[in-house]
Amino acid sequence: MSNKDCEKAGRGRFIVFEGIDGSGKSSQMRELAKRLTKSGKKVITTAEPTGSAIGVFIRSVLGGEIRKTEEELAALFALDRIYHNKEIEKYLGEGIDVLCDRYYYSSLAYQGSETDIERIKKLNLDRSDIRVPDICIFVDVSTEVALQRILGRGNKIEIYETAEKLDRVRKRFFDVFEMMKTEGRKDAVCIVDNSGSFGVAAEKVFQSVEKIR
Ligand code: TYD
């Protein structure tokens, strides 16, 4: 094994989960953490926005308590991500697999639809301080299934407005993945259908991750 291979084999894997609200991405992420731990791997789970001061500030913007433009919000997400990367790097270097709930695909899908996508790309892609994940698992469900799950949580929502929004965001994620393919980016994206059996989807997630290395 060459030095480079040795180093690679010892590093943890950086696995990102994306999906619309109600897709079950967080549950699938927790399930993968369980399966990896059972197979003897060291794993940590994390999320964006983070719990840092910037992450807390972002939540106040998302909650409507503080007003910022969509571009300002995108810059805040990128800054939160840069700080998050320092922590992620540390774990990966220690051989720990890092599972992250949302990453720059969310910025491209959400902020990219509200403002100039090229600016969002500049903030997040081809940067040495924002790592490209080893894999992005997109946990996919139809808008109808997502809505049923959201309603099942007992949340009161404006159903038509939300259905339209969920649909828009889901399509936007697919546009982002298509754009990355067209641009020949090294992002590996795996779309996993989570509308049926949770166990079948979980197995597919596990197999996709095991294929990385
Ligand atoms: P959160 O309550 O964590 O929701 P979820 O369970 O859906 O992940 O809120 C995160 C919100 O932040 C979510 O609506 C997506 C949004 N977001 C962006 O708009 N851009 C980003 O870069 C990230 C990471 C999240």
Which of 18, 53, 15 lies closest to 36 in space, CA to CA? 15
Q: Is 70 in the pocket of ligand 1 (CB under 6 A)?
A: no
* Ligand 1, atom 5: closest residue by C-alpha: 21
Which value, to the nearest 10 degrees, does the dihedral of the CA atoms of residues 15, 111, 81, 202 take?
Answer: -20
**Does the pLDDT of residue 66 top 90, yes or no?**
yes
Q: Is 48 in the pocket of ligand 1 (CB under 6 A)?
A: yes
For residue 66, the Cα-to-chain-centroid distance in whole angstroms is 24
**Does the pLDDT of residue 4 top 80, yes or no?**
no
**Does the pLDDT of residue 179 top 70, yes or no?**
yes
The pTM (predicted TM-score) of the whole model is 0.93
Helix residue spans in the chain (DSSP H): 3-10, 25-38, 53-62, 70-93, 104-106, 112-114, 117-124, 143-152, 159-182, 198-210
Q: What's residue 3's pLDDT?
A: 41
Cα-to-centroid distance, 40 and ligand 1 (Å) = 30
- Cα angle 74, 132, 5 (rounded to 5 degrees) comes to 165
Q: What's residue 8's pLDDT?
A: 56
Which atom of ligand 1 has the smallest separation from the CA of 20?
7
Q: What's residue 5's pLDDT?
A: 47
What is the pLDDT averaged over residues 152-161? 73
**Does the pLDDT of residue 177 top 80, yes or no?**
yes
**Does the pLDDT of residue 171 top 60, yes or no?**
yes
Q: Is 17 in the pocket of ligand 1 (CB under 6 A)?
A: no
Cα-to-centroid distance, 3 and ligand 1 (Å) = 39
Cβ of 89: how many Cβ atoms within 10 Å?
Answer: 16
* Ligand 1, atom 20: closest residue by C-alpha: 107
Please report the domains of the chain, with CATH numbers, ordered by start residue. 3-210 (3.40.50.300)
- Residue 37's pLDDT band, with cuts at 50, 70 and 90, is very high
- Residue predicted with more confidence, 156 or 161: 156
Cα-to-centroid distance, 77 and ligand 1 (Å) = 10
What is the pLDDT averaged over residues 186-202? 97
Which atom of ligand 1 has the smallest separation from the CA of 48?
24
**Does the pLDDT of residue 24 top 70, yes or no?**
yes
What is the pLDDT averaged over residues 91-117? 95
**Does the pLDDT of residue 132 top 60, yes or no?**
yes
Collapse the DSSP code of 26 into the 3-class scheme (helix H, G, I; strand E, B; otherwise coil) and give the result.
helix
**DSSP letter, residue 157:** -
C-alpha radius of gyration, the chain, whole number? 17
Measured distance CA(39)–CA(103) in Å, rounded: 26
Which atom of ligand 1 has the smallest separation from the CA of 77?
22
Which atom of ligand 1 has the smallest separation from the CA of 78?
22
- Residue 163's pLDDT band, with cuts at 50, 70 and 90, is confident
